[in-house]
């Protein structure tokens, strides 16, 4: 007997998506947001079904994602930020807590959350991932959230 296979569709029509974006390092995060909105639009998500939430920094993303997920208003969430190491140990706290908290919010609510938070050693590495040499992680995050919404709906039979 052939096995059963579940694979997500990259069809965003009818999906309601929230994008939480950090203003810190906005030079980078504005580009991630552009990539994410482009990805959503090109996958068929209606502009009127997209909500963008701006927060001060990546530290604020977990509580924002949790509130968005708990509201029941969104099928999927994208979070965008840029944590750049620079000279300060602040990096480790902000990057670590953002990753952990966003993961916890997804696990607690079951709402798919795409992790579009760059954690890089240099500004150049962040630029590379925000529309230069290494693509745009915001665009990738849009594709991920649409795919995961579809995967989870199939598993849950909804």
The set of catalytic residues is 90
CB nearer to ligand INI: pick between 12 and 116: 116
Q: What angle do CA 52, 46, 115 make, to 5 degrees?
A: 45
Binding residues for ligand INI restricted to 72-101, rule: CB under 6 A: 81-84, 90-91, 94
Q: Does 32 bind ligand INI (CB under 6 A)?
A: no
Least separation in angstroms between CB 94 and ligand INI: 5
Rounded Cα distance between 78 and 137, Å, is: 11
Where residue 92 falls (left for φ over 0; alpha for ψ -120 to 50; beta otherwise) is alpha
Given candidates 8, 25, 130, 142, which one binds ligand INI under the rule CB under 6 A? 25
Q: Does 57 bind ligand INI (CB under 6 A)?
A: yes
Number of residues counted as binding ligand INI (CB under 6 A): 15
Residue nearest to ligand INI (CB): 57
What three-state secondary structure class fits 42? helix
Q: Does 135 bind ligand INI (CB under 6 A)?
A: no
Least separation in angstroms between CB 95 and ligand INI: 8
Which among 40, 25, 23 has a CA at the least distance from the CA of 126? 25
Partnered with residue 119 across adjacent β-strands are: 83
Q: Does 22 bind ligand INI (CB under 6 A)?
A: yes
Q: Is residue 84 packed enough to be buried (19+ CB in 10 Å), middle (13-18) or exposed (0-12)? A: buried
DSSP 28: H
Least separation in angstroms between CB 125 and ligand INI: 12
Given candidates 60, 75, 140, 147, which one binds ligand INI under the rule CB under 6 A? 60
Q: How many residues does the chain have?
A: 158
């Amino acid at each position: 007997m052939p096995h059963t296979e579940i694979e997500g569709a990259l069809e965003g029509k009818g999906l309601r998506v929230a994008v939480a974006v950090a203003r810190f390092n906005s030079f980078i995060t504005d580009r991630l947001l552009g990539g994410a909105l482009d990805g959503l639009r090109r996958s068929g998500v209606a502009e009127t079904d997209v909500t963008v939430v701006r927060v001060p920094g990546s530290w604020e993303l977990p509580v924002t994602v949790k509130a968005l997920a708990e509201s029941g208003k969104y099928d999927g969430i994208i979070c965008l930020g840029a944590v750049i190491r620079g000279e300060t140990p602040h990096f480790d706290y902000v990057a670590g807590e953002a990753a952990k908290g966003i993961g916890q919010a997804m696990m607690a609510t079951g709402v798919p959350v795409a992790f579009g938070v760059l954690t890089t050693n240099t500004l150049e590495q962040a630029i590379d991932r925000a529309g230069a040499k290494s693509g745009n992680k915001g665009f990738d995050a849009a594709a991920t959230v649409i795919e995961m919404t579809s995967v989870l709906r199939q598993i849950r039979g909804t």
